[in-house]
């Protein structure tokens, strides 16, 4: 398998909205990325693997939980490329989930799954690294400085891709996306900050699926500043950066993995109305948040793009639970 075949320029098209029809809704179909059931994590995993090779490393250490799309994609990509892979699986975030296709697949892809509590992550990663080195390998941990910069910079190019594609629709006023780790939103913001026409670009709004406001904004700032620092690039002013960080935590629904009937119904309603599935943990929560944000802020008559960041196996988890 060739890494270059794992991603492509995904289409954008209009969709029927679920609750409110006072804006024109569009979707960027990153859920169609042609590897491991698609999603933003395919773009991110490809970048991580390319950097792992460039760094002379040979063993990936990935991080997540049973529901993690990033873990499914990274373990699959490692399996396809013949790269040894460890998965640090944080059990605190499981919240009682028994069966999750993403987690099952990490086993199918023969990743070495190492379970631990959140408090023990650093110690566990250190131990796994020691094991890798003792066996003559060179570990690459995705959540170390360089790995995080790579994750947060993947969507820089996607911002340009969207601006290019948006011409067909006369430009977008808003871009919405799910904001969990914050890397996708940070990448989009970086893309906008470095775009020659930044001033006229669409407003980027992240709908938090996990973090409370202070922590979410702190992480976005870390990702954005981290990129400029790591690459030794001239940084926009703090005010300019802050102005681009729009994170809504109003639709968090109690935190990571929690959802209400609106979110649950949106996952099947989006399929019924548009032939597109969502999931209650990430994209369904973010999409409902997007439409409610538009309503609650009195936004009307705008062109709104929602980025579908994937998570297809989680839709089938929901089907199994019903």
Q: Please give the Cα distance from 62 to 77 (Å, whole number).
A: 11
- Pick between residue 244 and residue 277 the one whose CB is nearest to a second copy: 277
Q: Please tell me whether residue 16 binds a second copy under the rule CB under 8 A.
A: yes
CA distance to 16, 161, 162, 298, 316, per residue, from 306 (Å)? 12, 14, 11, 18, 22
Helix, coil or strand: residue 59: strand
> Should residue 319 be labelled a site residue for a second copy when binding is judged by CB under 8 A?
yes
Residue nearer to a second copy on the CB measure, 78 or 224: 78
Strand order of the β-sheet with 247-248 is 12-15, 24-28, 303-307, 174-179, 203-208, 247-248
Shortest distance, position 166 Cβ to a second copy, whole Å: 16
Considering only 18, 23, 28, 36, the residue that binds a second copy (CB under 8 A) is 36
Measured distance CA(310)–CA(153) in Å, rounded: 18
Quick check: 35 binds a second copy (CB under 8 A)? yes
* 24 in Cβ contact with 291 (< 8 Å): no
Q: Beta strand pairing status for 59-64 and 84-90? A: parallel
Stretch that binds a second copy, among 10-18, 123-131, 133-141, 199-207 (CB under 8 A): 10-18
Q: For residue 266, how many C-alpha atoms fall within 13 Å in the half-sphere facing its CB?
A: 25
**Of 118-126, 142-150, 248-256, 275-283, which part binds a second copy (CB under 8 A)?**
275-283
Binding mask 83-102 for a second copy (x = CB under 8 A): ------------------x-
Check binding of 8 to a second copy (CB under 8 A): yes
Please report how close the Cβ of residue 8 comes to a second copy at its closest, in angstroms. Answer: 6
Asked whether the beta carbons of 14 and 25 are under 8 A apart, the reply is yes
DSSP secondary structure string for all residues of 249-293: -TT-TTSTT---HHHHHHHHHHHHHHS----TTTHHHHHHHHHHH
Phi-psi region of 256 (alpha: psi -120 to 50; beta: other; left: phi over 0): beta
Among 57, 79, 177, 288, binds a second copy (CB under 8 A): 79
Expressed in angstroms, the distance from the first to the final Cα of the chain is 36
Within residues 242-271, the interface with a second copy by CB under 8 A covers 268, 271
Nearest-approach distance from CB 145 to a second copy, in angstroms: 28
Nearer to a second copy, 69 or 246 (CB): 69
Residue with smaller CB distance to a second copy, 18 or 116? 18
Instruction: Report the distance separating Cα 38 and Cα 216, nearest Å.
Output: 25
In the bound state with a second copy, the residue whose beta carbon lies nearer, of 94 and 104, is 104
**Residue 123 in contact with a second copy, rule: CB under 8 A:** no
Q: Decide: is 55 part of the binding site for a second copy (CB under 8 A).
A: no
Residues that bind a second copy (CB under 8 A): 1-2, 5-6, 8, 11, 13-16, 29, 32, 34-37, 76-77, 79-80, 101, 104-105, 108-109, 268, 271-277, 312-313, 316, 319-320
């Amino acid at each position: 398998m060739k890494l270059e075949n794992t991603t492509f320029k995904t289409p954008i098209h209009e969709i029927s909205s679920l609750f409110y029809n006072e804006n024109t809704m569009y979707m960027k179909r990153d859920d169609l990325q042609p590897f491991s059931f698609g999603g933003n994590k395919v773009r991110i995993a490809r970048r991580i693997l390319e950097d792992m090779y460039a760094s002379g490393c040979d063993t990936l250490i990935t991080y997540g939980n049973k529901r993690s799309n990033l873990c499914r994609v990274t373990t699959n990509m490692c399996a396809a490329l013949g790269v040894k892979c460890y998965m640090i699986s944080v059990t605190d975030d499981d919240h009682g989930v028994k069966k999750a296709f993403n987690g099952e697949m990490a086993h199918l892809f023969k990743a070495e799954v190492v379970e631990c509590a959140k408090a023990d992550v650093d110690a566990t990663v250190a131990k796994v690294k020691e094991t890798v080195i003792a066996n003559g390998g060179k570990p690459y941990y995705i959540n170390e400085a360089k790995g995080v910069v790579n994750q947060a910079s993947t969507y820089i190019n996607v911002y340009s891709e969207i601006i290019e594609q948006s011409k067909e629709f006369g430009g977008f006023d808003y871009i919405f996306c799910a904001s969990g780790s914050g890397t996708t939103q940070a990448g989009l913001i970086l893309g906008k900050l470095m775009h020659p026409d930044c001033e006229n670009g669409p407003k980027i709004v992240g709908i938090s699926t996990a973090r409370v406001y202070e922590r979410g904004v702190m992480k976005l700032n870390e990702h954005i500043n981290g990129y400029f620092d790591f690459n030794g690039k001239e940084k926009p002013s703090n005010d300019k950066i802050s102005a681009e960080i729009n994170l809504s935590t109003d639709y968090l629904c109690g935190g990571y993995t929690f959802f209400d009937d609106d979110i649950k119904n949106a996952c099947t309603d989006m399929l019924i109305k548009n032939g597109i599935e969502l999931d209650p943990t990430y994209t369904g929560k973010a999409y409902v948040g997007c439409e409610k944000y538009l309503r609650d802020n009195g936004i009307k008559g705008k062109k709104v793009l929602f980025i579908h960041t994937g998570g297809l196996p989680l839709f089938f988890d929901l089907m199994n639970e019903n």
